[in-house]
């Protein structure tokens, strides 16, 4: 019998990491992800793990860099504005090809913004907010259970590709409580035995290992670029994940991720009950983006509605996929129920828009 | 006629700022933009300006934030990896609607990358590398003279839209020497900065940056208004230059130093009878989607030349919508495997011929 | 645009002139409202309300932007001294610029910023609100959290082997050459309050006289982090915090050589 809990999404992040055998966490408090920091402060010492409350997000990401370089599973988390501070470090992790997991529990932006929910970090996580044009795999859960599972997947993908992986949740997913079934996911054996990890010369036979954060300064920059280009291609071919419903016979398809997908999912089910031919696509990997399924659907569906709590960021990826074959509409931040930062996009608002457009 | 100089692109950044009336610079040394820091250290004290060498890029951008909050013209500069450290505050300045100019002289990435040239920061500057819904205006010069002119325009646009403006240069443009004619450009009147925090003085009400009334009460409208501002900028400020696209069978799209290389390619190929044109985006955000979309109805192929693994190409594909082939000639086409590699006009010519003859 | 200040509002009892008249946003028993008041009073006594520009950071102290009626700039987390430098220098050194920073803002993420601002010889004033924990985010450890103090990230008490030692900021900054004034006060009694106000006056004066950096640390109670009623939280500051962080002046020079 599996262990069941009623907990919030932030704590599910913590459980996911523990079940993935992550024993190192470095983090700095920032609303709305404090429960993650507090979870690790409480739980990691019990299992002999390492928890460090850092002095800043810049330190968090650099401690993560150090830990990942030794080949252990490690993670950090932050929220939007703190995540912006990590951009140089994430870019460096991508340059050094180090496996690690970074969670971003989104809040309002830009900059300091506010402490309430939003989904405004899509661009900064999918387009490489740091320099150098790297790409991280971005996983976007829409429930507490999925948060738990995707964190485990994130550690597997990070090790598989030797690359940072980002979990993108938001204040709603992080703060809401749902039932969680704790179980360990088995992704099979990993190809990389971490023969690159810095475990001291006494521990291996190499003359000395070196983690290179400036691929252009020593060695062949071209070799590095060819290698990561292949890596990105492989990720794009193999790692696209999405949830889809009724995309074959739909007059209108709702595309949405994270907490907005929860609102949209209700609207989609409700619309179907009322006999409207509505489809639903929820990208689970935001990078690589499920372009193909949307492009295929655009051959016969003439209307798309993108629901996201921002000014329209994923909208662009959907438009790029649709290639002018269908109309693409946005239900965004202007559709929030309140003008203050506590505003949200309600399921009934999505349903209304769907009915209006259909 | 203005005074003429033979100087580097990095020094042209400095002259542009001084001719735009900027008297405040905060910066941290990083290769390949050290000449910018050194220029201001030398020149600003002569004219009563403020130069501060900061302890980090984080402090540079936050000093800039403090300075522009008082309503003065101010700027900072950095290069790729240092620029990544500034992302949080650039996002914050967009949120607070503050006019600031930031120069990014690109080097190789990701991370520390290399100290040599590259064009790998396109995505981080155009897609908002920091958090939240924001898009800074991005200007991409391709000559020393144009750096000088676009810096002046950057200050004007920043004040016009109360928004951060980024000038995206690179190590080639920054380090190469060309002729520069100095003159100041008049862009017309600008609104008064009555929102600036300068000490209350004789004002009836105090000023806070950001305005805390809207800050606490009206978040949705702040963001929706930002959206309207982006739309206005997109409608009014798109800038690009086209070269011989009227009869072209294929069109190259390139910016910055790659556009220089592509233009040279055009000059070599046209006399040989190859019908090739060039579209050079000058504003990278807002992107000249329309001209590329129009062109895509009549040409069969686009070649994007950029010294990265493919970032500008994403915006070109977005504009073309599958109507024409979009090919990339990126960093893998450099002449050397080390970080000193560059994409040469010869390589671009070969690729153009290859596409025109076979695809 | 609607404004938050009400200069025309009738004054019924004697609040400081540079108080906006708005209610503070603090929990019952929090000392930050009192910190705001003592700052207001110091500003009034020096008569600098019209020339002053405040810089608030991220944390509960940031809400003082709504309490102290000077021009204000809201800085990102830890970046106050840099922002203040930009303001002061770009205005030719004219305005009196002060930063208000909490223990996370100054002693954690912003430690490098303040040390370098002093190192550059800036003429600024910093008011450091030390309440030994992170209030805004719900009670995590701060660099100034006392040993054995329980917080949400030190659930069994701060253990120096894993979470280190409290940082004594006022003493540390006093060692820097660019510091003209460094002191630590508290608000636990009328006597301490008056002493703290004197410290603030001096710290502003050092800036106004162009001597150097002025720094005042104010020990404050955060009943929410401590999980204590207001009176006990105040007692806790008196008994434990002042024992760890002695009150008084650590540097006061007329000239920096």
Sign of CA dihedral B282, B284, B286, B291: positive
| Cβ neighbours of A30 in C, within 8 Å | 137
What average pLDDT does this structure show over C103-126?
Answer: 96
Residue corresponding to tokens 């933009």: B33
Does residue A1 have a pLDDT over 60?
no
pLDDT in tens, B248-262: 999 999 999 999 999
What average pLDDT does this structure show over B54-66?
Answer: 96
Tally A–B CB contacts below 8 A.
Answer: 250
| Cβ neighbours of B110 in A, within 8 Å | 91-92, 94-95, 128, 130-134, 215
Q: CA C169 to CA C171: how far, in whole Å?
A: 5
pLDDT at B82: 95
3-state secondary structure of C89: helix
CB contact under 8 Å between A55 and C162, yes or no, is no
pLDDT in tens, A204-214: 777 777 888 88
| Cβ neighbours of B213 in C, within 8 Å | 1-4
Sign of CA dihedral C106, C109, C110, C115: positive
Interchain CB contact of B86 with C (< 8 Å): no
CATH pick for A243-357 out of 2.40.50.100, 1.10.3720.10, 3.10.310.30, 3.40.50.920? 3.40.50.920
CB contact under 8 Å between A53 and C137, yes or no, is no
Average pLDDT taken over every residue of chain C = 94
What average pLDDT does this structure show over A327-333?
Answer: 96
pLDDT in tens, A124-170: 999 978 999 899 999 999 999 999 999 999 999 999 999 999 999 99
Interchain CB contact of C155 with A (< 8 Å): yes
Mutate to test the interface with C, among A26, A52, A55, A78 (most CBs of C within 10 A): A55
CB contact under 8 Å between B84 and A216, yes or no, is no
Query: What's the pLDDT band for A218 if we cut at 50, 70, 90?
Result: confident
3-state secondary structure of B106: strand
* Closest-approach residue (CA) in chain A for C58: A112
In B50-59, which positions are buried (b, 16+ CB within 10 angstroms) versus exposed (e)? bbbbbbbbbb
Does residue C164 have a pLDDT over 70?
yes
Q: How far is A219 from chain B (nearest CA, A)?
A: 7
Strands B276-281 and B240-243: antiparallel
pLDDT in tens, B171-194: 999 999 999 999 999 999 999 999
Check for a shared fold between A3-238 and A243-357: yes
Q: How far is A76 from chain B (nearest CA, A)?
A: 17
Interchain CB contact of B69 with C (< 8 Å): yes
| Cβ neighbours of C1 in B, within 8 Å | 211, 213-214
Phi, psi angle pair for A19, to nearest 5°: -70, -20
Q: CA C252 to CA B79: how far, in whole Å?
A: 41
Strands A285-287 and A137-139: antiparallel
What average pLDDT does this structure show over B66-74?
Answer: 97
pLDDT in tens, A4-47: 999 999 999 999 999 999 999 999 999 999 999 999 999 999 99
Interchain CB contact of C1 with A (< 8 Å): no
| Spatial CA neighbour of C166 closest among C227, C219, C218, C244 | C244
Q: CA B301 to CA B318: how far, in whole Å?
A: 14
DSSP C18: T
Interchain CB contact of A221 with B (< 8 Å): yes
Which of C71, C72, C82 is opposite residue B62, by nearest beta carbon? C82
Q: CA A128 to CA A123: how far, in whole Å?
A: 8
Interchain CB contact of C94 with B (< 8 Å): yes
Sheet with A74-78, strands from edge to edge, namely: A50-53, A24-27, A74-78, A100-106, A164-170, A137-139, A285-287
* Closest-approach residue (CA) in chain A for C106: A55
Query: What's the pLDDT band for C9 if we cut at 50, 70, 90?
Result: low
Residues 6+ apart with CB under 8 A from A208: A201
pLDDT in tens, A59-73: 999 999 999 999 999
pLDDT at B359: 60
Q: Which chains neighbour A (Cβ–Cβ under 8 Å, 3 or more pairs)?
A: B, C
* Closest-approach residue (CA) in chain C for A31: C137
| Cβ neighbours of C52 in B, within 8 Å | 199
Q: How far is B58 from chain C (nearest CA, A)?
A: 8
Dig out the tokens for C150 from the structure. Answer: 């329980």
Q: CA A11 to CA A41: how far, in whole Å?
A: 12
Average pLDDT taken over every residue of chain A = 94
Q: Is residue A41 within 8 Å of A108, Cβ to Cβ? A: no
Query: Residues of A numbered 106-135 whose beta carbons fall under 8 angstroms of chain C's beta carbons: which are they?
Result: 111-112
Strands C179-186 and C248-252: antiparallel
Does residue C2 have a pLDDT over 50?
no
Residues 6+ apart with CB under 8 A from A247: A253, A279, A280, A281, A293, A296, A297, A301
Q: CA A165 to CA A67: how far, in whole Å?
A: 15
| Cβ neighbours of A112 in C, within 8 Å | 58, 74, 76-77
Percent share of chain B, pLDDT over 90: 92
In C161-170, which positions are buried (b, 16+ CB within 10 angstroms) versus exposed (e)? eebeebbbbb
Q: CA B241 to CA B304: how far, in whole Å?
A: 15
CB contact under 8 Å between C137 and A42, yes or no, is no
pLDDT at C1: 33
Interchain CB contact of C74 with A (< 8 Å): yes
CB contact under 8 Å between A132 and B113, yes or no, is yes
Q: Report the length, in residues, of chain B.
A: 359
H-state helical runs in chain B: 9-19, 34-43, 57-69, 80-85, 87-95, 122-126, 144-161, 171-175, 212-217, 219-236, 256-269, 289-295, 312-320, 345-358
For chain C, the farthest-separated pair of C-alpha atoms sits apart, in whole angstroms, at: 56
In B250-282, which positions are buried (b, 16+ CB within 10 angstroms) versus exposed (e)? bbbbbbbbbbbbbbebbebbeeeebbbbbbbbb
CB contact under 8 Å between C162 and A45, yes or no, is yes
Which of C108, C134, C162 is opposite residue A56, by nearest beta carbon? C108
Q: Any bridge partners for residue C71, and if so which?
A: C53
DSSP sequence for B261-323 = HHHHHHHHHGGGT--EEEEEESEEES--HHHHHHHTTT-SEEEEE-SSSSSHHHHHHHHHTTS
Does residue C145 have a pLDDT over 70?
yes
Q: CA A236 to CA A255: how far, in whole Å?
A: 19
Q: CA A112 to CA B92: how far, in whole Å?
A: 6
Evaluate the omega torsion of the peptide bond into residue B210 and state whether it is cis, within 30 degrees of 0: yes
Does residue C256 have a pLDDT over 60?
yes
| Cβ neighbours of B122 in A, within 8 Å | 133
Give how far Cα C117 sits from Cα of A41, A288, C81, C179, C181, Å: 33, 43, 6, 10, 14
How many other CB atoms are found less than 10 A from the CB of residue B357?
8
Dig out the tokens for B4 from the structure. Answer: 């003429």
Mutate to test the interface with C, among B206, B207, B221 (most CBs of C within 10 A): B206
What average pLDDT does this structure show over B2-17?
Answer: 95
Interchain CB contact of B358 with C (< 8 Å): no
Q: Is residue B240 within 8 Å of B281, Cβ to Cβ? A: yes
pLDDT at C189: 96
List the single range of A190-194, B51-55, C185-189, C229-233 with lowest mean pLDDT: A190-194
Give how far Cα B140 sits from Cα of B3, B79, B126, B315, Å: 24, 14, 11, 15
Interchain CB contact of B101 with C (< 8 Å): no
CA B249 to chain centre: 29
Does residue C3 have a pLDDT over 60?
no
Percent share of chain B, pLDDT over 70: 99
| Cβ neighbours of C207 in B, within 8 Å | none
Domain A3-238 superfamily per CATH: Thiamin diphosphate (ThDP)-binding fold, Pyr/PP domains (3.40.50.970)
* Closest-approach residue (CA) in chain A for B228: A311
DSSP A180: E
Where are chain A's structural domains?
3-238, 243-357
Q: CA A142 to CA C127: how far, in whole Å?
A: 43
């Amino acid at each position: 019998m599996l262990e069941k809990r009623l907990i919030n999404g932030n704590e599910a992040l913590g459980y996911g990491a523990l079940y993935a055998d992550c024993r190192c966490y470095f983090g700095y408090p920032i609303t709305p992800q404090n429960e993650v920091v507090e979870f690790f402060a409480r739980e990691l010492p019990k299992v002999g793990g390492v928890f460090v409350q850092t002095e800043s997000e810049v330190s968090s990401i650099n401690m993560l860099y150090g830990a990942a370089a030794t080949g252990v599973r490690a993670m950090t988390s932050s929220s939007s504005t703190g995540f912006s501070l990590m951009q140089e470090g994430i870019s460096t992790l991508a340059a050094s090809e180090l496996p690690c997991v970074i969670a971003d529990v989104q809040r309002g932006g830009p900059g300091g913004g506010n402490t309430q929910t939003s989904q405004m970090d899509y661009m900064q996580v999918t387009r490489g907010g740091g320099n150098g044009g790297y790409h991280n795999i971005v996983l976007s859960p829409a429930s507490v259970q999925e948060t738990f599972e995707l964190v485990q997947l994130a550690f597997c993908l990070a090790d598989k590709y030797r690359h940072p992986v980002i979990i993108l949740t938001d204040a709603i997913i992080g703060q809401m409580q749902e039932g969680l079934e704790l179980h360990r996911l088995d992704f099979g054996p990993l190809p990389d035995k971490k023969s690159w990890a810095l475990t001291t010369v006494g521990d291996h036979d190499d003359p000395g290992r070196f983690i290179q954060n400036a691929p252009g300064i020593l060695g062949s920059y071209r070799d590095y670029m060819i290698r990561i280009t292949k890596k990105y291609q492989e990720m794009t071919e193999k790692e696209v994940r999405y949830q889809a419903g009724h995309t074959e016979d739909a007059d209108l398809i709702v595309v949405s991720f994270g907490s907005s997908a929860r609102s949209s999912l209700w609207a989609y089910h409700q619309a179907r009950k009322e006999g409207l031919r509505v489809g639903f696509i929820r990208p689970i990997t935001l990078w690589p983006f499920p372009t193909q399924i949307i492009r295929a659907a655009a051959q016969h569906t003439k209307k798309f509605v993108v629901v996201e709590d921002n000014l329209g960021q994923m909208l662009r990826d959907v438009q790029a996929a649709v290639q002018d074959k269908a109309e693409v509409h946005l239900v965004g931040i202007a559709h929030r129920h309140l003008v203050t930062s506590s505003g949200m996009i309600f399921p009934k608002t999505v349903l209304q828009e769907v009915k209006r457009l259909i | 006629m203005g005074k003429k100089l033979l100087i580097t692109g990095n020094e042209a950044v400095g002259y542009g700022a001084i001719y735009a009336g900027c008297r405040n610079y905060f910066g941290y040394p990083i290769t390949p933009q050290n000449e910018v820091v050194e220029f201001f250290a030398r020149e600003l004290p002569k004219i009563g300006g403020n130069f501060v060498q900061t302890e980090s890029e984080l402090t540079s951008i936050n000093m800039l934030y403090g300075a522009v909050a008082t309503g003065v013209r101010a700027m900072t500069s950095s290069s790729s990896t240092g620029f990544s450290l500034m992302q949080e505050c650039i996002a914050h300045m967009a949120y607070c609607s503050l006019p600031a100019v930031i120069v990014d002289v690109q080097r190789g990435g990701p991370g520390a990358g290399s100290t040599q040239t590259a064009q790998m920061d396109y995505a981080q500057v155009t897609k908002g590398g920091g958090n939240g819904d924001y898009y800074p205006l991005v200007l991409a010069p391709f000559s020393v003279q144009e750096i000088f002119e676009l810096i002046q325009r950057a200050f004007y646009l920043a004040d016009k839209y109360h928004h951060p403006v980024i000038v995206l240069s690179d190590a080639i443009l920054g380090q190469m020497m060309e002729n520069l004619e100095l003159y100041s450009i008049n862009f017309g009147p600008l609104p008064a900065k009555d929102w600036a925090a300068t000490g209350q003085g004789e004002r009836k009400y105090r000023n806070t940056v950001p305005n805390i009334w809207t800050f606490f009460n009206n978040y949705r409208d702040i963001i929706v208004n930002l959206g309207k501002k982006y739309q206005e900028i997109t409608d009014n400020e798109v800038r690009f230059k086209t070269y011989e696209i009227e009869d072209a069978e294929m069109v190259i799209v390139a910016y910055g130093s790659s556009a220089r290389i592509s233009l040279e390619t055009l000059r070599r190929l046209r006399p040989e009878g190859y019908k090739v044109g060039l579209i050079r985006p000058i504003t990278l955000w807002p992107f000249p989607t329309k001209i590329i979309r129009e062109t895509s109805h009549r040409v069969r192929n686009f070649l994007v030349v950029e010294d990265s693994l493919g970032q500008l190409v994403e915006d070109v594909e977005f504009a073309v919508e599958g109507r024409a082939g979009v090919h990339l000639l990126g960093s893998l086409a450099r002449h050397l495997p080390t970080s000193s590699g560059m994409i040469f006009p010869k390589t671009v010519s070969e690729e153009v011929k290859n596409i025109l003859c076979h695809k | 645009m609607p404004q938050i200040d009400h200069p025309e509002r009738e004054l019924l009892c004697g609040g400081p002139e540079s108080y906006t008249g708005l209610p503070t946003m603090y929990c019952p028993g929090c000392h930050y409202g009192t910190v705001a008041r003592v700052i207001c009073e110091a500003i009034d006594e020096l008569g600098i309300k019209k020339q002053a520009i405040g810089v608030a950071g991220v944390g509960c102290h940031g809400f003082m932007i709504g309490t102290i009626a000077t021009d204000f700039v809201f800085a990102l987390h830890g970046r106050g001294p840099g922002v203040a430098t930009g303001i002061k220098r770009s205005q030719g050194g004219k305005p009196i610029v002060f930063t208000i920073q909490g223990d996370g803002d100054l002693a954690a993420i912003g430690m490098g910023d303040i040390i370098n601002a002093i190192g550059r010889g800036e003429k600024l004033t910093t008011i450091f609100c030390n309440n030994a924990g992170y209030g805004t985010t719900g009670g995590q450890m701060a660099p100034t959290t006392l040993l054995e103090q329980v917080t949400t990230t030190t659930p069994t008490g701060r253990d120096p082997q894993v979470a280190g030692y409290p940082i004594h900021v006022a003493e540390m900054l006093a060692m820097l050459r660019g510091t003209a004034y460094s002191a630590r006060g508290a608000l636990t009694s009328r006597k301490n309050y008056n002493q703290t106000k004197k410290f603030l006056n001096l710290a502003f004066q050092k800036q106004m006289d162009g001597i150097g950096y002025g720094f005042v640390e104010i020990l404050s109670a955060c009943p929410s982090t401590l999980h204590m009623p207001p009176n006990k939280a105040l007692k806790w500051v008196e008994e434990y915090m002042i024992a760890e962080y002695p009150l008084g002046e650590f540097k006061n020079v007329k000239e920096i050589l």
